[in-house]
Structure 1
Amino acid sequence: MKIFYAVQATGNGHISRAMELLPFFQRYGQVDIFLSGANNSLALDASVKYRSRGLSLFYSQCGGLNYWEITRQLSPLRVWKEVRDLPVEKYDLVINDFESITSLACMLKKVPSVNFGHQASFISPKVPRPEKPEWMGEWILRNYARASQYVGLHFKQYDDFILPPVIKREILQAEPADKGHITVYLSSYSDATVRRHLQPLSDFNFQVFSKEVKKPTQDGNILFLPVGKHAFNKSLITCKGILTGAGFETPAEALYLGKKLMVIPIRGQYEQFCNAAALGKMGVPVLKALDAGFPAAFRPWIEQRRKPCLHLDYSTEAIVSYLMHHSHLEKADSLDMLYPEAVFN
């Protein structure tokens, strides 16, 4: 079997998940990867056959999207050429992790595809949304990477086609510890902004993962670290709590490890506000911004004993097996067949 695997490379979550899934996809045949996007910090540890700048998101320095940079990078002519030339018709199976060029190519050439990933879950109206849903955000989630079939991933099984998160092997096998530091990953904030709000909390130590530093840099009670998979995993496994955006992979891993979690959704990124709505219902504190009110929210959170958790007993292999059967219209009668011991809190 020849498999076309499109990976969205805006941010790091999609790449992190792809690295876990790839060995299992390769059991089913030859996998050719299409990496699309221009704004990530992690490298994909695999051979990439097709590359594109894609339709990427860029962030400002203060917690939101940089719309000017997003618009500046957009080239309709380039996108059209890539859509036309992408050879999706030569593959037996197209797996699309929220990548728009692949979706358009499949639509143009009438090739079936499976939208597989977190964003695919939002096809279901049962997935939590903010109190005031945004019509544009809803339209993007439904149309940015349209497909003939959908297999979603989310914190809970909100619908019958939604599976649990894919947790990295290093996290699954870890023995969590509390070494007292707070792990911070806020990709849409500059180091200067993060420093300004964390340094006054001098009785706490922070490990901040930054796109700006090239080597570990100590600055008072803050250790700035380059974004890297192993360093971040180590920090997360041994932290007291984590402050991060309202993405999907990192919050899922934090909940699985039983860590205290606080999230700040990226302004303008509707999916993160949907995730924040789901996390809020699970008891996770959600902040609007990293601002002057942060210390007042931080201290009660880090001192509380109750920690929302995500208990799972499943395998990435089982998730891939479900996807492959689903893509061949041999859908399992029930997810309980694959996850008889899964418990979602």
Structure 2
Amino acid sequence: MNNRFVFAVQGEGRGHLTQAIATYEMLIARGHTVCAVLIGSSSRREIPSFVRERIKAPIITYRSPNFVTDKENKSIRIDKTIVKNMLQWRTYRKSMRLIREAIAQYKPDLLLNFYEPLIGLSSVFKKLDTKIISIAHQFIYLHPEFQFPEEGNKSDAFAIKQYTKLTAKGSDKLLALSFYPLNQSSYKKVLISPPLLRKEVFQQEVFEGDHILVYLLNSGYMQDIISWHKEHPEIVLHCFTDSATVKGKWHFDETLCFHSLDDQKFLQYMASAKALVTTAGFESVCEAMYFGKPVLMVPVKGHFEQWCNARDGAKAGAGTHADSFNLDVLLDYMPPYKNNSEAFQQWSKTTKHIMLQCFSDVLHQPMEEDLIEEKSTPYFQFHPMLSLNQQLGHS
């Protein structure tokens, strides 16, 4: 049965956008229609060109709540974030009207919300005239088995849970993308799913080259990488950033090269890297886990969600974490690193089945015939990864 979909995507960062691309390609391949993709973002970020290249449906952009960073574009200023977003209320009301107009125009059978807060906020005032499934890693915070790191700030944990609940308002089901399995019994509409990886991830030739790959969400960290590199010029680094000063490729010297964001090139460099250094975004860490590359996770200062990701990723065996871009931490970690990619790959193969089953349940439609025989990977096949990493000192 051909169904009509509309996407709503939180456009800050790379993760939600690549998840939307993966879902778009999966649905199109199965004969469904994606009528439009709504992307909420801020004035400080442009929608990456690869999104428009990969998604052939109409793309509608609008202003949406976002973080405010410091002058160096490194850390997040929570106080200024709250004030700025409150002052932008009239702009966000216009965005919510645009969302309702798009739904009225395209009449989707299902709206897929990739953590766009204005979908939930719209539903607070009046339920949107469509069924909604929300998809994001953050929905794992609402699962009873998920535990925030003990050393974390309880106020921050409470705030991120409330924000996530707001984003989920009006949803018929929540798909919580996770580093590792939890109890699959649906709890208050929450269903655990493996990460939503793009098809290109499965097509890469994986080997260990001579470079370390770096991904910087905020361009302010470029100087940190340069400073470390000057002390270790023998280490080859390739760094991807959204900095406006980098157009295509910039060779700082023979062993440090900066690249503008390019999803295809980034995957190719990751598949051939020794290791990955990243600002603890969920998607990049999962791609590295699939390839069996150790990861140094450095959360953006003030970004509690990434702070949790760094510790949760370490718990799952992805790598280790640090508070700054001191790559010495990674070099010390790499010798004892245990490659558990086979178990992670096996679990990741069940994502499509879980998602399409969820779509069928919400739409009250029978499961597509070619997927009926597929079964999820049992929990115990992945569990040794957690036990092993606890032995390495992460908990």
Helix, strand or coil: the match of 2:122?
A: helix
Helix, strand or coil: the match of 1:152?
A: strand
In structure 2, which of residues 88, 94, 117 is the aligned counterpart of residue 75 of structure 1? 88
Please list, as runs of the form range in 1=range in 2, the aligned pairs for 1:147-296 lying within 5 A after superposition.
Answer: 147-160=171-184, 161-188=191-218, 189-212=220-243, 213-220=246-253, 221-283=255-317, 284-290=319-325, 294-296=326-328
1:54 is matched with 64
Contact between 1:130 and 1:273, CA under 8 Å: does it hold in 2? no
Helix, strand or coil: the match of 2:206?
A: coil
Inter-CA distance 317–203: structure 2 relative to 1 (3 Å threshold): same
Please list, as runs of the form range in 1=range in 2, the aligned pairs for 1:84-95 lying within 5 A after superposition.
Answer: 84-87=97-100, 88=103, 90-95=107-112
* In structure 1, distance between residues paired with 2:138 and 2:361: 17
- Residue range with higher mean Cα deviation, 49-58 or 14-23: 49-58
Deviation (angstroms), 1:273:
2.1
Deviation (angstroms), 1:144:
3.3
TM-score, normalising length: structure 2: 0.77
Deviation (angstroms), 1:281:
1.4
Please list, as runs of the form range in 1=range in 2, the aligned pairs for 1:257-336 lying within 5 A after superposition.
Answer: 257-283=291-317, 284-290=319-325, 294-309=326-341, 310-312=344-346, 314=349, 317-328=352-363
Structure 1 stretches of 5 or more lacking a match?
A: none
Inter-CA distance 331–262: structure 2 relative to 1 (3 Å threshold): farther
1:104 is matched with 121
Inter-CA distance 120–234: structure 2 relative to 1 (3 Å threshold): same
In structure 2, which of residues 132, 135, 139 is the aligned counterpart of residue 120 of structure 1? 139
Deviation (angstroms), 1:104:
2.2
Deviation (angstroms), 1:13:
0.9
- Equivalent AA in structure 2 for residue 289 of structure 1: S
Helix, strand or coil: the match of 2:321?
A: coil
Helix, strand or coil: the match of 1:223?
A: strand
* In structure 2, distance between residues paired with 1:226 and 1:70: 30
- Residue range with higher mean Cα deviation, 167-176 or 136-145: 136-145
* In structure 2, distance between residues paired with 1:331 and 1:282: 34
Fraction of identical pairs, as percent: 20
* In structure 2, distance between residues paired with 1:217 and 1:30: 37
* In structure 1, distance between residues paired with 2:21 and 2:164: 23
Inter-CA distance 230–242: structure 2 relative to 1 (3 Å threshold): same
Contact between 2:121 and 2:166, CA under 8 Å: does it hold in 1? no
Deviation (angstroms), 1:8:
1.1
Contact between 1:246 and 1:273, CA under 8 Å: does it hold in 2? yes
- Equivalent AA in structure 1 for residue 75 of structure 2: G
1:42 is matched with 48
Deviation (angstroms), 1:190:
3.1
Inter-CA distance 201–331: structure 2 relative to 1 (3 Å threshold): farther
- Residue range with higher mean Cα deviation, 90-99 or 319-328: 319-328
Contact between 1:24 and 1:320, CA under 8 Å: does it hold in 2? no
- Equivalent AA in structure 2 for residue 253 of structure 1: E
* In structure 2, distance between residues paired with 1:145 and 1:199: 45
- Residue range with higher mean Cα deviation, 40-49 or 171-180: 40-49
1:141 is matched with 164
* In structure 2, distance between residues paired with 1:145 and 1:7: 13
Bigger fraction of residues in helix: 2
1:65 is matched with 76
Say which structure, 1 or 2, has more relative contact order (CA 8 Å, 6+ apart): 1
Inter-CA distance 168–3: structure 2 relative to 1 (3 Å threshold): closer
- Residue range with higher mean Cα deviation, 98-107 or 253-262: 98-107
1:339 is matched with 376
Contact between 1:129 and 1:277, CA under 8 Å: does it hold in 2? no
Contact between 2:112 and 2:135, CA under 8 Å: does it hold in 1? yes
Contact between 2:6 and 2:112, CA under 8 Å: does it hold in 1? yes
Helix, strand or coil: the match of 1:199?
A: helix
Contact between 1:42 and 1:229, CA under 8 Å: does it hold in 2? no
Inter-CA distance 41–237: structure 2 relative to 1 (3 Å threshold): farther
Inter-CA distance 40–57: structure 2 relative to 1 (3 Å threshold): farther
State the Cα deviation string for residues 83-134 of structure 1 (Å, max 9, x = none): 2342235432221111111222234332342212212222213224121342
State the Cα deviation string for residues 12-46 of structure 1 (Å, max 9, x = none): 11111111110333433443211111335623132
Deviation (angstroms), 1:326:
3.4
Contact between 1:167 and 1:253, CA under 8 Å: does it hold in 2? yes
Deviation (angstroms), 1:339:
2.2
* In structure 1, distance between residues paired with 2:32 and 2:201: 25
Helix, strand or coil: the match of 2:208?
A: coil
2:37 is matched with 33
* In structure 1, distance between residues paired with 2:337 and 2:250: 31
Inter-CA distance 305–48: structure 2 relative to 1 (3 Å threshold): same
State the Cα deviation string for residues 276-330 of structure 1 (Å, max 9, x = none): 221121342111223xxx2542331234453453232516542431231232357
